[in-house]
Amino acid sequence: MKPIISAAELAAELRGARPPVLLDVRYQLGGPHGRPDYDAGHLPGAVFVDLDAELASPPGVHGRHPLPDAEAFGAVMRRAGVSADTPVVAYDAAQGWGAARVWWLLRWTGHRQVRVLDGGLAAWNGPLETRAPAPAEGDFTPVPGALPLLTADTAARLARSGVLLDARAAERYRGEAEPIDPVAGHIPGARSAPTTQNVDDQGYFLPPEQLASRFQSLGAEEAGGEIGVYCGSGVSGAHQAIALELAGFTPALYAGSWSEWTQDPSRPVAIGPERG
């Protein structure tokens, strides 16, 4: 299944016999919280999902957004009405990072029918509602492992033997600025590939052929196509994973990302524009 869906396609599916479960994952790094925006207006039937509280474990040695406990994540999804055989569409305000996080988690835990609304809520031309729904309990049971996942050690090896893409802003990769994490720079051998370059000025994903050309220029077909991605805390990296899938690749995600990498002072840090 294609990982994204247009607003027009979503409107048609909502009128069909098997309408998707809608997840509102409005999220902004550093706030404000997305719930007030959800309460002010959301897609009809959409359930709000809190990225910080429900799509991650508490911050710690595994980074700012460690993967959530699988059982806890499954309970959140079931309360939202997610079942194993029902399609799911996630959206956020426009950037796509929050929606990508739940897309990746659902895919990683075995759900096969999940997509992200391309362009986010800004692309939607239909009605909104303010009432929070009370969906029937779903039956989704997460089984982690359906997508490849990197640890700090395997990410370091991939940076040497394959292709590891850094999805953060280029200045953070180069070590010129680090507004969030305690150490600036990047994993040695990683290649700078800002997530923002996967979308156009309105936040829509670039066509697959353009994305394929971009990732090929970054070496995505080297080392037998073994490719991974990381970011600051595993959120924007999930968005990059969607772009890579659209381009025809199957990336591995280093979910702990830079915020986990820098928790261990023994891990090496590279700075500057060059690999190494």
Distance of alpha carbon 67 from alpha carbon 132, whole angstroms: 26
107 CB contacts (<8 Å, ≥6 apart)? 114, 146, 147
**Cα–Cα distances in angstroms (integers) from residue 108 to residues 101, 111, 129, 130, 144, in the given order:** 10, 7, 31, 31, 6
33 CB contacts (<8 Å, ≥6 apart)? 50
Of the candidates 231, 238, 242, 243, the residue annotated as catalytic is 231
A 10 A CB-CB count for 243 gives 30
Q: Is 231 a catalytic residue?
A: yes
Task: Using CA atoms of 68, 7, 252, 34 in order, give the dihedral in degrees to the nearest 10.
Answer: -30
- H/E stretch holding 103: helix 97-108
Two structure tokens written together for 138: 């779903």
Catalytic annotation, residues: 231
